[in-house]
Amino acid sequence: MASSPELCVKLLVDTKSNKVLFAEAGKEFVDFIFDLLTVPLGCVVKLMSNGGMHGSIGRLYESVDGFPTSYLQPNVCKSELLQPKMRPVVDGGHVKATETYIVTDGLNVTPMTTISASTLINRFALHKDTELAEKVVGFGMNEAMALLTAVMGSDTVLSDVYLAKKK
């Protein structure tokens, strides 16, 4: 079941290298990215697993799931480890709604100014032959899950989510 995007993000893409240089994003997108730092790891594993997660974190999760409760402290419940509660979202989020933000492919976030945008464009354009294009993309539940997956092991998160070749 596909979910329709809830908000839009504007990307500046180098079409020759098929890489996102940066995104121009509003408060909701930046709040989501900042909220990734507050999500308990057990929730991330549960969200990403879909039938089993690979690597050590998947084995740790399975180990806790099968761990005998008789070996746990009396005040410890396995479900608290496997499905921890997320903290309530801060009223108003993390960043000001009146600003626009630059989010790089590797998720560096800065307030957008004419100078910061020009500096980024020049940094990318001066070192190689580039073809710049603006691309407006949606951000909804599907993109949020793809971003969560990409952020765990990639330095090119936005490119992975929005420009990866569909198989």
How far is CA 8 from each of CA 1, 137, 154, rounded to the nearest angstrom?
20, 6, 22
Residue at token pair 């991330």:
44
The CA distance from 155 to 159, in Å, is 9
The CA distance from 118 to 116, in Å, is 6
The domain limits of the chain are: 1-39+89-167, 41-85
The CA distance from 46 to 64, in Å, is 13
The two tokens of residue 113 are 């100014």
Report the percent of the chain where pLDDT is more than 90. 33
> Which pTM does this prediction carry?
0.79
| Backbone angles phi and psi of 15, in degrees to 5 | -70, -25
| Per-residue model confidence (pLDDT) at position 100 | 92
Strand partners, 104: 22
The CA distance from 84 to 116, in Å, is 39
Write the Ramachandran bin of 85: left for phi over 0, alpha for psi from -120 to 50, otherwise beta. Answer: beta
Region 32-56: mean pLDDT is 75
For residue 12, the surrounding DSSP H or E stretch is strand 7-14
- List the alpha helices (DSSP H) in the chain: 27-35, 41-49, 55-66, 78-82, 114-126, 141-151, 157-162
| Per-residue model confidence (pLDDT) at position 29 | 94
Question: What is residue 5's three-state secondary structure?
Answer: coil
Low-confidence winner among 7-11, 15-19, 122-126, 156-160 (lowest mean pLDDT): 122-126
| Per-residue model confidence (pLDDT) at position 12 | 93
Q: Are the beta carbons of 132 and 14 closer than 8 angstroms?
A: yes
Q: What is the pLDDT of residues 121-165, one digit of tens each?
A: 777 766 667 788 999 999 998 999 899 888 888 899 999 999 986
